[in-house]
Homo-oligomer: A and B are copies of this chain.
């Protein structure tokens, strides 16, 4: 049985996942997730699908790795430039045959676990193609006023709350995408 496809992001109250340069400093100093919650999320993930922007910013390397290195497994980067600086890390694969193929590849690699989608652009592409099962957001209590928005031109997508939890100063919301 295939796992779910879910978008996972830490987002400001005004909808940004990064400042105009993509830095995620706004999330620092805000906390509230229990080890159990983090462990549960990480344990559910079989593979990562990310965008090229995050990759180029180094977000899949060193101490910027997904989940601070607490998770490891196959990671895929959707890119139009597969020949430009291909990954040295054998766990990272560039994919350039479109988002639908990338999700299928990621799900297969996840081996029955979930595929987590990271990044605004790849997230939007997945939403527009109807490829997303759930959206998991940690909402940080700050307005940034500018930056990279998670949700932009997604089209109309009905959601259904699966879980909402207020812990520390974060609000974690898991929403299911309602298929038409």
What is the interface of chain A, defined by CB distance below 8 A to chain B? 13-15, 127, 135, 139, 141-146, 149-161, 164, 166, 169, 171, 173, 175
Contact = CB atoms under 8 A, between A and B. Distances in A.
Given A141-B175, A171-B171, 4 more contacts: A142-B158, A143-B151, A143-B159, A145-B157
A13 B151 contact: yes
Nearest to A150: B14
Given A13-B151, A153-B145, A173 B171 contact: yes
A143 B161 contact: no
A151 B161 CA distance: 22
Contact of A161 (B149, B159, B164, B166): B166
A24 to B, nearest CB: 15
A159 B175 CA distance: 23
Contacts of A175: 13, 141
A161 B141 contact: yes
Contacts of A143: 127, 151, 154-157, 159
A158 B144 contact: no
A14 B159 CA distance: 11
20 contacts: A13-B175, A14-B15, A14-B154, A15-B15, A15-B149, A127-B143, A139-B173, A141-B161, A142-B157, A142-B159, A143-B154, A143-B156, A143-B159, A144-B156, A145-B153, A145-B154, A145-B155, A164-B166, A171-B171, A171-B173
